[in-house]
Amino acid sequence: MRERVGLTEPYAEWIENWTSGAFREFVTELGALADVHGAADSAERRVREVFDLERELWRWCYGGDAGS
């Protein structure tokens, strides 16, 4: 993405952060931890739980109606 759109505003800081080598390393480390410590069925339940919570957060942020 960085090469395609460049690092110009208004998204330069966001692109720099989320496409950096440090972020790629962080994601790789998270994946390794999940492989070592998480059973597939448990990980799938947690992913669903996180997605549900994330959806509720954004619903609340934009509409103030979380839980409905």
Strands annotated E in the chain: none
Mean pLDDT of the chain: 81
Q: How far is CA 45 from CA 4, 25, 51, 54, 64, in A?
A: 36, 25, 10, 14, 26
Tell me how far apart the alpha carbons of residues 50 and 27 are, in angstroms, rounded to a whole number.
16
pLDDT of residue 1 exceeding 60: no
pTM beyond 0.75: the answer is no
pLDDT of residue 6 exceeding 70: no
Confidence bin at 58 (pLDDT 50/70/90): very high
Give residue-wise pLDDT tens across range 24-56.
899 999 888 888 887 778 878 888 999 999 999
